[in-house]
Structure 1
Amino acid sequence: MIRYLDEKIANYEVCVILPSGYDQTKKYRTIYMHDGGETAKQASNYIDHLILSGQIEPLIVIGIEPIDRKNDYTPWEAPSLAPHASTFEGRAQVYLHTVVTEIKPYIDAHYATNPEPSHTAISGCSLGGLVSIFASYYYPEVFHQYISLSASFWYEDVLRYLQGEKIERQGNIHLKPTVNRQNHRLYFYVGELEGIYKETIQKHMVDYTKKAHLEFTKEGYSESNLLFASDPKGTHDDLFFTNYFIQSLHWLYGIETRNETMDR
Structure 2
Amino acid sequence: MIVSFRFDMDELKRDRKITVYLPDDYYQQKKRYPVLYIQDGQNAFFDRLSFCGVSWGFLDYVKMMELDIIMVAIPCNFTGFKRMDEYGPWRINQELSYQETQIKGKIIGGEGIKYVEWMVHQLKPYIDCRFRTLSDDTAIVGSSMGGVISAYAALAYPEVFKKCAALSTAFWFYMDEFAEVIESHDYSLDNRFYFDLGEFEGCGDDVIDEWYIESNNMIYSMLKDKMENLEYHYFEGAQHNESEWRKRVPMFMDFLYQ
- Letter of the 2:35 counterpart: T
Could you list the runs of 5+ residues in structure 2 that have no partner in the other structure?
9-14, 47-54
* Superposition deviation, residue 20 in structure 1: 2.5
Query: Is the contact between residue 14 and residue 63 of structure 1 (CA under 8 Å) also seen in structure 2?
Result: yes
Instruction: Give the match's secondary structure for 1:232.
Output: strand
* Superposition deviation, residue 127 in structure 1: 0.5
Query: Is the contact between residue 199 and residue 238 of structure 2 (CA under 8 Å) also seen in structure 1?
Result: yes
Find out whether 1:8 has 2:13 as its counterpart.
Answer: no
CA distance in 1, matches of 2:251, 2:33: 20
1:161/1:99 CA distance change after superposition, 3 Å: same
Query: Is the contact between residue 162 and residue 215 of structure 1 (CA under 8 Å) also seen in structure 2?
Result: no
- Letter of the 2:89 counterpart: P
* Superposition deviation, residue 199 in structure 1: 6.4
* Superposition deviation, residue 244 in structure 1: 1.1
Find out whether 1:246 has 2:250 as its counterpart.
Answer: yes
- Which residue is 2:31 aligned to? 26
Give the stretch that moved more between structures: 196-205 or 98-107: 196-205
CA distance in 2, matches of 1:161, 1:147: 19
- Which residue is 1:189 aligned to? 196
- Which residue is 2:12 aligned to? none
Q: Give per-residue Cα distances to partners, 1:113-145, cap 9 Å, x unaligned.
A: 1111xx100111110111111112332211110
| One of 114, 117, 141 as aligned partner of 1:123 | 141
1:232/1:45 CA distance change after superposition, 3 Å: same
| One of 61, 65, 84 as aligned partner of 2:71 | 61
* Superposition deviation, residue 102 in structure 1: 0.8
- Letter of the 1:35 counterpart: D
Quote the RMSD (CA, aligned, Å): 2.2
CA distance in 2, matches of 1:199, 1:243: 23
- Which residue is 2:133 aligned to? 113
- Which residue is 2:115 aligned to? 95
* Superposition deviation, residue 176 in structure 1: 4.7
CA distance in 1, matches of 2:188, 2:210: 30
- Which residue is 2:102 aligned to? 83
% same residue:
25
Counterparts of residues 151-166 of structure 1 (less than 5 Å): 151-155=169-173, 158-164=174-180
CA distance in 2, matches of 1:113, 1:238: 28
Give the stretch that moved more between structures: 121-130 or 60-69: 60-69
CA distance in 1, matches of 2:182, 2:61: 37
Query: Is the contact between residue 192 and residue 231 of structure 1 (CA under 8 Å) also seen in structure 2?
Result: yes
CA distance in 2, matches of 1:210, 1:29: 30
Query: Is the contact between residue 85 and residue 112 of structure 2 (CA under 8 Å) also seen in structure 1?
Result: yes
* Superposition deviation, residue 203 in structure 1: 4.6
* Superposition deviation, residue 37 in structure 1: 5.5
CA distance in 2, matches of 1:107, 1:58: 16
Runs of 4+ residues deviating >6 angstroms: none
- Letter of the 1:109 counterpart: C
* Superposition deviation, residue 196 in structure 1: 6.6
| One of 141, 147, 152 as aligned partner of 1:134 | 152
Query: Is the contact between residue 40 and residue 61 of structure 1 (CA under 8 Å) also seen in structure 2?
Result: no
Instruction: Using structure 1 for the length normalisation, give the TM-score.
Output: 0.80
- Letter of the 1:152 counterpart: A
Query: Is the contact between residue 39 and residue 241 of structure 1 (CA under 8 Å) also seen in structure 2?
Result: no
Aligned residues: 232
Instruction: Using structure 2 for the length normalisation, give the TM-score.
Output: 0.82
Query: Is the contact between residue 37 and residue 61 of structure 1 (CA under 8 Å) also seen in structure 2?
Result: no
- Letter of the 2:64 counterpart: L
